[in-house]
Amino acid sequence: MEILDNKSNEISSFFMAMDELLDTIGQALKNRTPHLNGEKYLTNKDVCQMLHISPRTLQDWRDTGKIPFIRIKGKILYPQSEILKLLESNCH
């Protein structure tokens, strides 16, 4: 029976595979969209990218009630269905 150490090919391959898996999990967590009661919610960054607006414009829209949002422990989220409705209603 062969004893494997950290210099063996099998162990090196294993750790490389684990690093790739950790990177994949990290990307998945970074790109995930929060769900609540079946509704997808978008972050400030998501909405700004989707609507091609600045964070300041988004804040103005929140302040004036132009765009619906919820706040959970200081985190602001936007119902995806409402953002899509907003886009459709302003499409010419």
32-59 confidence digits (pLDDT tens): 666 667 788 999 999 999 899 999 999 9
**What is the per-residue pLDDT across 61-72, written as a single tens digit (0 to 9) for each?**
999 999 999 998
Tens digits of per-residue pLDDT, 9-35? 887 888 889 889 888 888 877 766 666
Degrees, nearest 5: CA angle 14-18-21? 140
**All structural domains of the chain:** 35-89 (1.10.1660)
